[in-house]
Structures are given as C-alpha cells and as structure tokens.
Amino acid sequence: MARVSVTPEQFTMVLFEHDRIAEIAAAVADKVGIPTDVEIRIDVDERTPLGRTTLTSLDPITITAESGAFEDAKNLRHLSQRGVEDVIGRLLFRARDRLDPAFGDAPPEHELSLQEQVAWDAYCMGRCERLGLAVQKARRQYHFRNRHGFTDVADAAFERLWNADSLTWADIEKACTETAAERERATA
C-alpha cells in the first residue's frame, strides 16, 4: 500500500479519525495504481465546513481538502467514507495522469479553466466508477452540463470522457473545444 500521511494528527473541530482517512486513501491509491513507494500527503483544513479540494504537489503527491469535502452531509462533522473515496480517487487519477508522460502536458492546477477541470473530473470519475468506487454519475453529468452546455454535443463529450480508459490532455482539450464551439454556435 502507498505511504499515506494525514494532517492534522488529531482533529478537534470535526469528528474525523486520522487513521481512517489514511486507511481509505491507501486503499484507493492501490486501486488507482499509485506505486507503493510513492508518498501521499493529505492536509485537511478542519476550520471550514466548505468542500474545496486541490492537488497541490506531485512530489510528494499532496492533496488539500477543506473538511466539508470529507463530511457526511447527513451526519454533520462526521467522516464520510464515500466523500473521502470520491476526493482521493479523483485527485489521485489526476496525479497519475500528470505523472504519465504519455498523458501530455496539462497546465498547472491553478491555470485550468472551469471547463477543463470539469472535463478532467469526468474522465477521472468514470475510471473511479469502473474501480468499484461509489460515484454519482448524474451529479457529475449535471455539473458538466453547467460548464459545457445543455446540448447533445456536451452530452456526447461527457460520455466519451466518462467511458474512456486512456486519454491524453489533448483529448480533454478537444472535448472542451467541441463544447465551446457548440455554445458559440447556439448563441450566434
């Protein structure tokens, strides 16, 4: 299993279990195909109930998450295994893509457009689903439509991304270009 560290060691504002987050993350890392010698750091900001998550580094792989991203919506301040799997799976696939030379050169995380982020997320979450992780395809498709348009072109792009196993950054850019062209055509 991958070496996973979680901060903080002791949660005081949320009722999360440090070891449980590390255990879930290590299991997801194995499913995603992260090598066992890779270090993964997960930094949880328990001071906010919001849910922003970011891949902040590749060496070591570092994920930052506001505590709301890991929180059980029906049991506030408690950990959601599904939430941890969702975030960790998506961002570890993104890290794996970035580390694969065949994937190509994606822009740094802070330079990705919303459309690029959502398209890449669709690709990552489709792979998570095939690994047996609980994902919400309808939620992801709605989010995709909000950024790429409520069109047949956007739906086809989403399905292509969701069902793919081996895309490149150029493939993700192509999907974004197609949906942008359709949005422009619809408003012309």
Verify that 120 and 147 share a domain, yes or no: yes
Looking at residue 65, which CATH number applies to its domain?
A: 3.30.379
Verify that 13 and 94 share a domain, yes or no: yes
Verify that 80 and 110 share a domain, yes or no: no
Give the pTM: 0.94
Q: Looking at residue 31, what is its pLDDT? A: 96
- Where residue 132 falls (left for φ over 0; alpha for ψ -120 to 50; beta otherwise) is left
The alpha-helical segments, DSSP class H, found in 68-151 are: 81-99, 114-130, 137-148
Find the helix or strand (DSSP H, E) in which 186 lies.
helix 169-187
Verify that 11 and 92 share a domain, yes or no: yes
Q: Looking at residue 133, what is its pLDDT? A: 94
Pick from 83, 84, 29: nearest CA to 61: 29
Domain tally, the chain: 2
**Chain centroid to CA 182: how far?**
26
How far is 145 from 47, CA to CA, in rounded Å?
A: 32
Verify that 29 and 114 share a domain, yes or no: no
Domain's final residue, options 99, 116, 139 = 99
Amino acid (1-letter code) at residue 121: D
How far is 175 from 177, CA to CA, in rounded Å?
A: 5
Sequence-separated (6 or more) residues with CB below 8 Å from residue 179? 115, 148, 149, 151, 153, 154, 157
Verify that 122 and 139 share a domain, yes or no: yes
Q: Looking at residue 186, what is its pLDDT? A: 86
Beta bridge partners of 62: 41, 57
Q: Are strands 39-45 and 53-58 parallel, antiparallel or unpaired?
A: unpaired
Per-residue pLDDT of the chain (188 residues; tens, 9 = 90+): 789 999 999 999 999 999 999 999 999 999 999 999 999 999 999 999 999 999 999 999 999 999 999 999 999 999 999 999 999 999 999 999 999 999 999 999 999 999 999 999 999 999 999 999 989 999 999 999 999 999 999 999 999 999 999 999 999 999 999 999 999 988 88
Domain's final residue, options 99, 134, 152 = 99
Verify that 71 and 112 share a domain, yes or no: no
Would you say 4 and 25 are in contact if contact means Cβ atoms under 8 Å apart? yes
**Chain centroid to CA 53: how far?**
8
**Chain centroid to CA 147: how far?**
16
Verify that 75 and 135 share a domain, yes or no: no
Q: Write out the residue range of the structural domain in which residue 85 sits.
A: 3-99
Domain's final residue, options 99, 127, 153 = 99
Verify that 124 and 82 share a domain, yes or no: no
Would you say 13 and 44 are in contact if contact means Cβ atoms under 8 Å apart? no
Verify that 13 and 68 share a domain, yes or no: yes
Verify that 13 and 71 share a domain, yes or no: yes
Verify that 151 and 78 share a domain, yes or no: no
